[in-house]
Structure 1
Amino acid sequence: MSREQRLGAKAVGANGLETYGAFALGGRLRRLSDRIDRDAKSIYEKMGVEFEQRWFPVFNCLRGGDSLSVTQIADHLGISHVSVSVTRKSLEAAQLVTSTADKEDGRRSNLTLTEKGKALAQELAPLFAALDLAAADLNAEAGNAIAAIERLESALDKKSVSERTYHFLELGEAG
């Protein structure tokens, strides 16, 4: 298999990240995420709601009313503890979340929606439901992109990008 076939590179004349084929996968996923986040931001702004899309995963975990630790949220979402902590600080600054020291382990913080956060969760529930339907519609139109993302995540669980890169370097196929 040629390098171009492996990379999935497009013909000359393509532009931007597309010219790099699979090599630009991370960049294209970031671009896609940015595009979705911009759309969501514009919806919140048009509705006059002060809410940042980057808050959604953590905020959504807490909508059920449970008090959860940063670690529990990170594990549930499959993201880093640091990422949850950064989001927590931003949600606290917006007075949507409060954190308290865990009774069993004072080093751990438990997060809970404030009254303002609970009111916002209730206000946003119809919008979140509509966004979920829009995402499902987009996913269906794109031929089940979620399944493709799940396959990518599974492939990365089996062998990371760095492991794959070192493999090709060892084979002398890189360059």
Structure 2
Amino acid sequence: MDYSRTKGGAALGARLRRVSEQIDRDATRVYASLGIEFEQRWFGVLNQLAINRTMTVSELAQTLLITRASVSQTRQSLEDAGLVISRDHPSDARQRNLSLTPKGRRLVDRLAALWQAMDAAARQVDEEAGFVVATLDRLEVALAGKSMFARITEQLANQDPILLSAKQPGAS
């Protein structure tokens, strides 16, 4: 029995994580089968640096819609692998400009055909699954309109206001 399937919308996060992990696992298998050392989390940063040449952590976070902390962790991993270099920003001492190293550029060039194949496969799966990307777009819009936090606390307020007030700072 697939417990998550039986829970419907209540298991939304678990189902999304499971699908994401499956996609990442398969991508990792492809890289490994080609003898390429590559971490799936690198893709967004490498791709953006290949397109834009130089970006700051903040610009990458904003473009990829992920946290600065996540970009910083990825940056560190890419620097450790010799694929990215960071330099002082010319006008903002708090920022660092990131760019591909020659090794990083060679890797991106080597991966271009693979990334095209991955994109084609992802489009094929999306179509086969009934254009789930459009559904994910609607999900993101719904969550931007009202977060899960707001929705859950609203439900708690309606169901058990005592539980909700007991957990508030300063409540006795």
Fold agreement, TM-score > 0.5? yes
Which one of 146, 149, 155 corresponds to residue 133 of structure 2?
146
Q: The residue matched to 2:7 in structure 1 has which SS?
A: helix
Q: Is the 8 A contact 1:91 1:97 kept in 2?
A: yes
Structure 1 stretches of 4+ with a deviation exceeding 2 A read none
Match of 2:76 in 1: 89
Match of 1:66 in 2: 53
Q: Percent identity?
A: 45
Which one of 7, 11, 17 corresponds to residue 30 of structure 1?
17
Q: 1:93 to 1:73 in 2, by over 3 A?
A: same
TM-score (norm 1): 0.88
Distance between the aligned counterparts of 2:21 and 2:46, measured in 1?
Answer: 19
Q: Matched residue pairs, number?
A: 161
Distance between the aligned counterparts of 1:23 and 1:90, measured in 2?
Answer: 35
* CA apart distance, 1:173: 7.6
Distance between the aligned counterparts of 1:30 and 1:99, measured in 2?
Answer: 31
Q: The residue matched to 1:104 in structure 2 has which SS?
A: coil
Q: 1:116 to 1:65 in 2, by over 3 A?
A: farther
Question: What is the aligned-residue RMSD (CA, Å)?
Answer: 1.4
Distance between the aligned counterparts of 1:106 and 1:149, measured in 2?
Answer: 38
Q: The residue matched to 1:83 in structure 2 has which SS?
A: helix
Match of 1:107 in 2: 94
Match of 1:56 in 2: 43
Match of 2:66 in 1: 79
Match of 1:156 in 2: 143
Distance between the aligned counterparts of 2:77 and 2:12, measured in 1?
Answer: 29
Match of 1:129 in 2: 116
* CA apart distance, 1:27: 1.3
Q: Is the 8 A contact 1:63 1:121 kept in 2?
A: yes
Gaps of 5+ in 1: 1-13
Q: Is the 8 A contact 1:65 1:113 kept in 2?
A: no
Distance between the aligned counterparts of 2:137 and 2:160, measured in 1?
Answer: 28
Q: The residue matched to 1:48 in structure 2 has which SS?
A: coil
Distance between the aligned counterparts of 2:111 and 2:3, measured in 1?
Answer: 36
Distance between the aligned counterparts of 1:72 and 1:65, measured in 2?
Answer: 11
Q: The residue matched to 2:130 in structure 1 has which SS?
A: coil
TM-score (norm 2): 0.90
Q: Where does 1:40-51 land on structure 2 (aligned, <5 Å)?
A: 40-51=27-38
